[in-house]
């Protein structure tokens, strides 16, 4: 079940009625206590209070301006107003939000959400210039749909903020230490920016806050606990690497500043690195088993070992971790860990969904790997054979994998089926999906 906090954020329209969006449109969803608000902009701005039930959003959007529209803009605006009035079924898949009912459907792609900025950040640039002293901003959930914020400049600025109409807005109170002109200007930039609204965007360095008067570049301060977990390799120096098994790297806190490292490519590689100001450095070579991999695997293993010895900068953006120095760049995505009871999947993904949400731990898991554009299913039961049948939109570009069977109906939709035996994982599809429905059945053995 998708919670209201999970769908909160700012989105750009990608598809309407299964086709590429004919107009530019944005959607912002935010919560304040029990109140859920939707702001939409096509040509006109629209806003309204909504009621959110599990995977269902309904309410009235009202126009806040009345500009002249072309036909496409008018059609999309009316479809949004009518759709929310009738109620939308809500599906959040990775960074895509699907709103669908019996008369219309929209796909929005997430551009910013409040959770993107949670954590402690160093201010590394103000209006593209480096600061003259250490400055930080810290954001953490307030439990009410917004965020507490603490900015440490010369004074400590504290308050609350949330995303409204696509902008990060809030009010700050300050201690009363006398600051020099430059530091006072930074404090004013932050206060005024939050008061009037910051645009939030993610970039290579971290999070960029932009206002009408300037910009503040943030870089998240990565801690041992932030790194903890397993990651899948997405790319090495900008390119995917073909490996026999899925390449992974795991981190675990060790001591005051150290993290233990476990890498799997063809070999299992282990070691320890010191984390200091976002730089991970190993004083000694990482230890490896002695299996012979492909040339690409051997090159990747060597790059990991050399990279950690020279030191790599760790940049964490939500579930994506970048490790880089002047010679190498590894982009990794956090592995989704299913809540299994009996067996681990043999395929790892970036997202995982319980198929039988009302039953125990979910029994059957749909595993999606965004990096490889692959789906798999894992059956965590001991006494049931699971049958999956999925229907994909005619504009999908997919192929079945391994034991999955696919055919195309007269209307153009693709039907894919597979049976998953107890305690096993079956690969399902690979490709680009444009709308889907899935039915599951459990067959006692």
pLDDT digits (tens, 9 = 90+) for 32-78: 888 899 999 998 899 999 999 878 999 999 988 777 888 999 999 99
- Of the residues 220, 247, 278, which one is the last residue of a structural domain? 220
Rg over CA atoms, the chain? 24
Is the pLDDT at 1 greater than 70, yes or no? no
* Those residues with Cβ within 8 angstroms of residue 169's Cβ, 6 or more apart along the chain or in another chain: 161, 162, 163, 194, 195, 196, 197, 198
Half-sphere CA count of 121, side-chain side, radius 13 A: 27
Whether residues 130 and 229 share a domain: the answer is: no
State mean pLDDT over 406-430: 96
Q: What is the pTM of this model?
A: 0.76
CATH number of the domain enclosing 80: 2.40.128.270
Q: Does residue 345 form part of some domain?
A: no
Whether residues 326 and 228 share a domain: the answer is: yes
Span of 30-34, 150-154, 430-434, 440-444 with lowest mean pLDDT: 30-34
Under DSSP, the state recorded for 285 is P
The H or E element that residue 31 is part of is: strand 26-32
Burial degree of 136 (CB within 10 A; 0-12, 13-18, 19+): middle
Whether residues 238 and 317 share a domain: the answer is: yes
What pLDDT score does 93 carry?
Answer: 80
* 164 band by pLDDT with thresholds 50, 70 and 90: confident
Whether residues 303 and 360 share a domain: the answer is: no
* 9 band by pLDDT with thresholds 50, 70 and 90: confident
What pLDDT score does 212 carry?
Answer: 87
Whether residues 119 and 196 share a domain: the answer is: yes
Is the pLDDT at 308 greater than 70, yes or no? yes
Span of 13-17, 66-70, 74-78, 290-294 with lowest mean pLDDT: 66-70
Whether residues 252 and 153 share a domain: the answer is: no
What pLDDT score does 398 carry?
Answer: 96
Q: Does residue 130 form part of some domain?
A: yes
The residue segments making up the domain with residue 150 are 115-220
| Residue found under tokens 């009408």 | 212
* 196 band by pLDDT with thresholds 50, 70 and 90: very high
Return mean pLDDT, the chain.
92
Compute the distance between CA of residue 244 and CA of residue 425 in angstroms, rounded to an integer: 17
What is the phi/psi pair of residue 307, to 5°? -60, -45
Compute the distance between CA of residue 389 and CA of residue 437 in angstroms, rounded to an integer: 8
Compute the distance between CA of residue 409 and CA of residue 137 in angstroms, rounded to an integer: 54
Number of folded domains that form the chain: 4
* Among 55, 51, 52, 53, CA closest to 1: 55
Whether residues 129 and 56 share a domain: the answer is: no
* Strand runs labelled E in 115-257: 119-126, 136-141, 147-152, 156-164, 167-174, 199-202, 207-210, 215-220, 229-236, 248-254
Whether residues 199 and 157 share a domain: the answer is: yes
Q: Does residue 343 form part of some domain?
A: no
* Among 415, 367, 369, CA closest to 389: 415
Is the pLDDT at 144 greater than 90, yes or no? no
Span of 151-155, 195-199, 246-250, 267-271 with lowest mean pLDDT: 195-199
Whether residues 234 and 329 share a domain: the answer is: yes
* Among 68, 71, 79, 131, CA closest to 104: 79
* Those residues with Cβ within 8 angstroms of residue 338's Cβ, 6 or more apart along the chain or in another chain: 345, 352, 354, 362, 365, 367, 378, 380
What pLDDT score does 65 carry?
Answer: 79
| Residue found under tokens 């036909």 | 71
Compute the distance between CA of residue 179 and CA of residue 185 in angstroms, rounded to an integer: 9
Whether residues 122 and 198 share a domain: the answer is: yes
State mean pLDDT over 4-33: 89
Is the pLDDT at 165 greater than 80, yes or no? no
State mean pLDDT over 386-410: 94
Are 95 and 6 a contacting pair, CB within 8 Å?
no
Compute the distance between CA of residue 46 and CA of residue 333 in angstroms, rounded to an integer: 35
What pLDDT score does 227 carry?
Answer: 95
Whether residues 320 and 231 share a domain: the answer is: yes
Is the pLDDT at 14 greater than 80, yes or no? yes
What pLDDT score does 310 carry?
Answer: 94
Span of 13-22, 260-269, 350-359 with lowest mean pLDDT: 350-359
Q: Does residue 341 form part of some domain?
A: no
What pLDDT score does 361 carry?
Answer: 65
Burial 171-187 (b: 16+ CB within 10 A, else e): ebebeeeebeeebeebb
Instruction: List, for residues 322-349, the tens digit of each pLDDT value.
Output: 999 999 999 999 999 998 999 999 999 9
Q: Does residue 234 form part of some domain?
A: yes
Instruction: List, for residues 88-124, the tens digit of each pLDDT value.
Output: 999 888 778 999 998 999 999 987 778 888 989 999 9
- Of the residues 67, 83, 111, which one is the last residue of a structural domain? 111
Instruction: List, for residues 212-228, the tens digit of each pLDDT value.
Output: 889 999 998 999 999 99
Compute the distance between CA of residue 368 and CA of residue 232 in angstroms, rounded to an integer: 12
What pLDDT score does 407 carry?
Answer: 96
- Of the residues 220, 237, 271, which one is the last residue of a structural domain? 220
Whether residues 216 and 136 share a domain: the answer is: yes
**CA end-to-end distance (rounded Å), the chain:** 29
* 232 band by pLDDT with thresholds 50, 70 and 90: very high
Compute the distance between CA of residue 88 and CA of residue 413 in angstroms, rounded to an integer: 22
Alpha helices in 117-243 (DSSP H): 181-196, 224-227
Are 311 and 327 a contacting pair, CB within 8 Å?
no
CATH number of the domain enclosing 363: 2.60.40.1180
Is the pLDDT at 359 greater than 80, yes or no? no
What pLDDT score does 377 carry?
Answer: 97
Alpha helices in 87-208 (DSSP H): 181-196
What pLDDT score does 189 carry?
Answer: 95
pLDDT more than 70, % of the chain: 99
Are 437 and 20 a contacting pair, CB within 8 Å?
no
Are 187 and 154 a contacting pair, CB within 8 Å?
yes
What pLDDT score does 108 carry?
Answer: 94
Is the pLDDT at 317 greater than 70, yes or no? yes
């Amino acid at each position: 079940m998708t919670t209201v906090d999970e769908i909160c954020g700012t989105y750009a329209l990608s598809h309407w009625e299964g086709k590429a969006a004919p107009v530019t449109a944005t959607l912002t969803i935010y919560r304040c206590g029990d109140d859920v608000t939707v702001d939409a902009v096509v040509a006109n701005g629209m806003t309204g209070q909504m009621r959110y039930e599990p995977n269902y959003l309904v309410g009235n959007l009202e126009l806040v301006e009345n500009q002249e529209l072309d036909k496409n803009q008018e059609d999309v605006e009316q479809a949004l107003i009518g759709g929310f009035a009738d109620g939308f079924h809500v599906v959040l898949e990775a960074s895509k939000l699907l709103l669908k009912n019996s008369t219309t459907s929209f796909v929005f792609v997430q551009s910013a959400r409040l959770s993107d900025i949670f954590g402690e950040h160093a201010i590394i640039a103000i209006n593209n210039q480096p600061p003259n002293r250490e400055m930080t901003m810290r954001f953490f959930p307030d439990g009410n749909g917004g965020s507490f914020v603490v900015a440490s400049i010369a004074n400590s600025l504290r308050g609350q903020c949330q995303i409204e109409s696509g902008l990060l807005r809030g009010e700050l109170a300050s201690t009363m230490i006398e600051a020099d002109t430059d530091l006072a200007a930074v404090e004013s930039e932050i206060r005024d920016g939050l008061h009037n609204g910051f645009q939030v965007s993610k970039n290579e360095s971290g999070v960029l806050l932009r206002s009408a008067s300037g910009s503040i570049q943030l870089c998240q301060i990565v801690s041992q606990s932030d790194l903890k977990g397993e990651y899948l390799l997405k790319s090495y120096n900008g390119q995917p690497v073909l490996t026999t098994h899925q390449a992974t790297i795991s981190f675990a806190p060790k001591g005051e500043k150290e993290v233990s490292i476990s890498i799997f490519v063809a070999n299992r590689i282990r070691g320890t690195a010191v984390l200091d100001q976002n730089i991970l450095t190993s004083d000694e070579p990482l230890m490896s088993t002695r299996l012979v991999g492909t040339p690409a695997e051997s090159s990747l293993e060597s790059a990991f070992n050399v990279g950690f010895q020279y030191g790599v900068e760790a940049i964490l953006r939500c579930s994506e971790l970048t490790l880089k120095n002047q010679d190498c760049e590894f982009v990794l995505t956090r592995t989704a860990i299913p809540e299994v009871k009996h067996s681990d999947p043999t395929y790892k993904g970036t997202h995982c969904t319980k198929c039988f949400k009302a039953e125990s731990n979910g029994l059957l898991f749909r595993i999606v790997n965004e990096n490889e554009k692959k789906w798999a299913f894992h059956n965590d039961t001991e006494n049931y054979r699971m049958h999956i049948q999925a229907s994909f939109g005619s504009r999908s570009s997919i192929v079945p994998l391994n034991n999955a069977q696919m055919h195309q109906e007269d209307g153009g939709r693709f039907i894919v089926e597979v049976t998953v035996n107890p305690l096993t994982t079956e690969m399902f599809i690979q490709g680009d999906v444009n709308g889907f429905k899935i039915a599951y059945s459990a067959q006692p053995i």
